[in-house]
Structure 1
Amino acid sequence: MNTINETNFNFPKQKSIYKGKVREVYNINDEVLVMIASDRLSAFDVILPRQIPFKGQILNQIATKMMNDTADIVPNWLVANPDENVAIGHLCEPFKVEMVIRGYMSGHAAREYKAGKRVLCGVEMAEGLKENDKFPNPIITPSTKADNGDHDEDITREDILAKGIVSEEDYIVLEKYTRALFARGTEIAASRGLILVDTKYEFGKTKDGKIVLIDEIHTPDSSRYFYAEGYQERQEKGESQKQLSKEFVRQWLIENGFQGKDGQQIPEMNDEKIIEISNRYIELYEQITGEKFVKASTENVLARIEKNVTSFLNK
């Protein structure tokens, strides 16, 4: 099956290309960005060797739907989706922080808590919490936006302001938008029988200084979801939560001796594991959107993307 590992297009009026962990972003005449979602899979800030069929399409289409479903509360960068794997939007200068917000003590927060830490990014976590317990109120735990190959690092609000990474005026807006998006995402998830556990948002500034949501939103790569049904019962019994997120990939890697640390070797994923991961992504798409996933044609996929994007740009 054809998957998208990377793209190297030369679109009309293209000025540059930025290659992220799972996306390529093309600057078109310093006016718009063309963001192409590949099928690459990253975990622990490392790009894994094999691609996941339809992952790029799934992420792109979930993000598009969620951008549309939140545009009334937070402005975003999106202009058009000329292809299943493509989003085109306004050129923005990204803020160099990721706004992580957590409603539950899971994932990274749980690992830090288990290691004895009770403060995460300057935010206190109460004693006596169990993994996957709900926080009294969602907490914002920002991280620095790492360059390719580097690890994102936890950072406090105070350090962000002290180092001038974001001005206080702008950071207040980022916090406000982050909480508003998480509240809306929580509502949307609940309507689908899910709990939005934690997620991250990225923001940028347009040429006229407007702060907008960029990149992706509420996808399985940027978010963690639990099934709401049985959540309380599983917590009381001390059982693992049934979840829809990329955490199952991280857990599999951990079980096979990999956490992205120096000297560790990435375990090999066989075809069966690749299909399993693809099916999990499709499951999340259908669960969170309430829509049947329609697989795009994978025949000549790069030619398809190039044709659709070029056609849009030439309008």
Structure 2
Amino acid sequence: MNISDIVALGLWPQSKKTTTKKGIQELEDLGYNLFYIGKNADLYTCPGDEAKVLLVRSDRCSVFDIPLNLEIKEKGVWQTAISNSGAKFAEKSGIKTAVLSENVDPSLIIAPRCQIMELCKALEAQIDGDVVQFEFIFRNYLTGSLFEATKNGNDPYGLNLPSTLNEWHKFETPIFTPTTKGVKDIPLNSQNVREKFPEIISSLEKLFKEFTQYAQDNGIVVVDTKLEVFVNAKGEWILGDEILTPESSRFISKENFDAKNFISMDKQILRNFAKENNWKEKAKDLKAGEKLDVEVPDSIKNEVLKGYKTIHERLSSSIIDQ
């Protein structure tokens, strides 16, 4: 299947520009053809006529949607391993994902970075007269932007949370805080979205609760998780590739959480460094296609990588062994 076939199926958003550049030679030689270069991963068409693509994770980094000239060696390998185990956990809970069980030839050097994915498009629906895509977010704790909104008496999701709640308040049952997906994520009324997708939200809420308990039992506190729902060629709803991973969730080691050291085990360390060095301000002058030149100490890179490794060691191995 080539890119024109993918476009014809209506499963590729017109807003995403494809590329004519050649990809990794060992993949191209086998009939996988590069067609999209993302901030952190690339997509290839697959040989044959099935509606599927090959996702290849790089070691490239980005924060706050800013493309960087930074790579953290082996990051893509660990991300892929965690993504595979997250998909496996979801499927054991009865939820279909876009991650297929087949893969490229394991003898290929690039194999640990690869996932063959079912081709799908983002779930869409009309909200207040506009057709929107969604990010379904579940939270165990009150922190971040929601804490600030609640403290100031704002109620972006229609949850009626008291303004007196302290930061890191643990909810008795997870709260659902959906947003639109786009350049700017806009909060949506939680109950309205539940009523529009009752079966989907119920299934995802169950998955989040099960994973929260599983992670807790293995030494990791799940603060929140973003789940993105897609629709495949058969019209079935499925989850994408970033399922229960550091790219879609905030994880804190239990020992750090108990010590009230609320640093998540993912790119938060890099985000904090970015804030300290005003990367957002510097990125304003970037032209389309440009990357921000940054210098990051090895200590920061190693700390980021350590987070991914710890997540994999505590969570992935147990899922695979189940």
Task: Name the TM-score class by shorter chain.
Answer: 0.7 to 0.9
Partner Cα distance (1:11, 1:160) in 2: 49
**Matching of residue 250 in structure 1 with residue 271 in structure 2:** yes
TM-score in terms of structure 2 length: 0.72
Are the counterparts in 1 of residues 215 and 315 from structure 2 also a CA contact under 8 Å? yes
Are the counterparts in 1 of residues 138 and 225 from structure 2 also a CA contact under 8 Å? yes
Structure 2 partner of 1:88: 116
Structure 2 unaligned residues grouped into runs of 5+:
1-20, 105-110, 124-132, 287-291
Structure 1 unaligned residues grouped into runs of 5+:
1-5, 162-166, 292-315
Are the counterparts in 1 of residues 176 and 190 from structure 2 also a CA contact under 8 Å? no
Structure 1 residues 261 and 200, CA gap change in structure 2 (3 angstroms): farther
Are the counterparts in 1 of residues 22 and 33 from structure 2 also a CA contact under 8 Å? no
Structure 1 residues 156 and 247, CA gap change in structure 2 (3 angstroms): same
Q: How does 1:186-205 map to 2 (within 5 A)?
A: 186-205=212-231
Partner Cα distance (2:212, 2:281) in 1: 30
Which residue among 300, 304, 308 is the counterpart of 1:273?
300
Are the counterparts in 2 of residues 39 and 55 from structure 1 also a CA contact under 8 Å? yes
Letter in 2 for 1:202: E
Structure 2 partner of 1:25: 43
Q: By how many angstroms is 1:290 displaced?
A: 4.5
Q: By how many angstroms is 1:216 displaced?
A: 1.2
Greater Cα offset, 55-64 or 246-255: 246-255
Q: By how many angstroms is 1:87 displaced?
A: 0.9
Partner Cα distance (1:240, 1:264) in 2: 35
Question: What are the Cα deviations for residues 264-302 of structure 1, in whole angstroms up to 9, with x where unaligned?
Answer: 8965313343233223322222233247xxxxxxxxxxx
Partner Cα distance (2:205, 2:158) in 1: 17
SS where residue 61 of structure 1 aligns?
helix
**Matching of residue 101 in structure 1 with residue 138 in structure 2:** yes
Partner Cα distance (2:301, 2:57) in 1: 18
Greater Cα offset, 262-271 or 243-252: 262-271
SS where residue 217 of structure 1 aligns?
coil
Aligned residues: 270
Greater Cα offset, 56-65 or 34-43: 34-43
Q: How does 1:160-199 map to 2 (within 5 A)?
A: 171-199=197-225
SS where residue 245 of structure 2 aligns?
coil
Partner Cα distance (2:195, 2:221) in 1: 31
CA RMSD of aligned residues (A): 3.2
Q: By how many angstroms is 1:242 displaced?
A: 5.0
TM-score in terms of structure 1 length: 0.73
Structure 2 partner of 1:35: 55
Structure 2 partner of 1:213: 239
**Matching of residue 143 in structure 1 with residue 158 in structure 2:** no
Q: By how many angstroms is 1:15 displaced?
A: 7.7
Are the counterparts in 2 of residues 106 and 132 from structure 1 also a CA contact under 8 Å? yes
Letter in 1 for 2:296: M
Partner Cα distance (2:306, 2:45) in 1: 33
Letter in 2 for 1:286: E
Structure 1 residues 255 and 136, CA gap change in structure 2 (3 angstroms): farther
Q: By how many angstroms is 1:230 displaced?
A: 6.5
Partner Cα distance (2:115, 2:88) in 1: 12
Q: By how many angstroms is 1:21 displaced?
A: 3.0
State the structure with bigger RCO (CA 8 A, min sep 6), 1 or 2: 1
**Matching of residue 70 in structure 1 with residue 85 in structure 2:** no
Partner Cα distance (1:55, 1:287) in 2: 17
Partner Cα distance (1:155, 1:286) in 2: 34
Partner Cα distance (2:22, 2:301) in 1: 21
SS where residue 162 of structure 2 aligns?
coil
Are the counterparts in 1 of residues 156 and 189 from structure 2 also a CA contact under 8 Å? no
Structure 1 residues 50 and 242, CA gap change in structure 2 (3 angstroms): closer
Q: By how many angstroms is 1:159 displaced?
A: 11
Structure 2 partner of 1:3: none
Question: What are the Cα deviations for residues 121-158 of structure 1, in whole angstroms up to 9, with x where unaligned?
Answer: 34333222222221233222223333xxxx34123047
Q: Percent of aligned positions with the same letter in both sequences?
A: 25
Letter in 2 for 1:89: M
Are the counterparts in 2 of residues 196 and 223 from structure 1 also a CA contact under 8 Å? yes
Structure 2 partner of 1:294: none
Structure 1 residues 189 and 85, CA gap change in structure 2 (3 angstroms): same
Which residue among 74, 79, 83 is the counterpart of 1:59?
79
Partner Cα distance (2:303, 2:30) in 1: 38
Partner Cα distance (1:33, 1:70) in 2: 20
